[in-house]
């Protein structure tokens, strides 16, 4: 079983990437504590060039995309039947997800058009805003909406919608214990639900 985490920030190794790492580490720790193992992979979109969907309908002919960009090598990763879930981490831009997150989510239509390949896979979201209450929950729900279009199973952090952190914490995002806690809780819940579904 494998969970893929996607860091959809334009900036490498910053708050979004950090929060996703916290989430995935907690996921692995939770699984190992129960005597099971869950493989994780972090995909960082920062160095990649992924265009928006152009509605060319090529993907109606198979699990493929006409655009020759950095999305191409992600297709087999996301199509791998071992993948049991996807965690999307995105900064909040203008009250919603990043353009990187939106472009990737729009391009995943090819999985829907080819037998709902994400159906019953777990979906979780982490958002990082410029202020404590900077649109994180609204952004989580926007990503949830795309996941629901795939008929994925949405998992929260055990208390709210998912991970929600503050990039501009006065002591640095690494000191945002509240936000880090929500990201870790999401990882724990994803591990718990994944193991329940494996039984």
103-151 pLDDT, tens digit per residue, is: 999 999 999 999 999 999 999 999 999 999 999 999 999 999 999 999 9
Residues above pLDDT 70, as percent of the chain: 99
Could you tell me if 110 and 29 are in contact, meaning their C-beta atoms sit under 8 angstroms apart? Answer: no
Assign domain 2-198 to its CATH architecture: 3-Layer(aba) Sandwich (3.40)
By CB neighbour count within 10 A (0-12 exposed, 13-18 middle, 19+ buried), where does 157 fall?
Answer: buried
What does the mean pLDDT of the chain come to? 96
pLDDT reading at 199 higher than 80: no
Indicate yes or no: pTM above 0.85.
yes
Residues above pLDDT 90, as percent of the chain: 96
User: Domain coordinates of the chain in residue numbers?
Assistant: 2-198
pLDDT score at 14: 95
Could you tell me if 78 and 70 are in contact, meaning their C-beta atoms sit under 8 angstroms apart? Answer: no
63-110 pLDDT, tens digit per residue, is: 999 999 999 999 999 999 999 999 999 999 999 999 999 999 999 999
Sign of CA dihedral 125, 166, 11, 95: positive
Nearest to 165 by CA among 143, 193, 186: 186
């Amino acid at each position: 079983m494998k969970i893929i985490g996607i860091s959809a920030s334009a900036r490498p190794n910053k708050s979004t990437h950090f929060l996703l790492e916290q989430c995935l580490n907690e996921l692995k720790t939770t699984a190992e504590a129960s005597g099971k193992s869950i493989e994780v992979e972090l995909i960082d979109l920062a160095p990649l060039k992924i265009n928006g969907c152009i509605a060319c309908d090529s993907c109606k002919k198979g699990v493929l995309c006409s655009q020759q960009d950095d999305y191409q090598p992600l297709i087999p990763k996301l199509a791998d039947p071992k993948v049991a879930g996807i965690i999307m981490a995105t900064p909040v831009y203008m009250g919603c997800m990043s353009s990187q997150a939106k472009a990737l989510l729009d391009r995943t239509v090819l999985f829907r058009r080819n037998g709902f390949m994400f159906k019953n896979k777990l979906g979780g979201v982490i958002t990082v805003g410029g202020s404590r209450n900077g649109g994180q929950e609204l952004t989580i729900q926007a990503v949830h909406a795309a996941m629901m279009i795939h008929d994925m199973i949405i998992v929260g952090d055990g208390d709210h919608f998912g991970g929600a952190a503050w990039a501009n914490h006065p002591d640095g995002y690494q000191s945002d214990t509240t936000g880090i806690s929500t990201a870790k809780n999401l990882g724990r819940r994803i591990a718990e639900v994944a193991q329940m579904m494996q039984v």
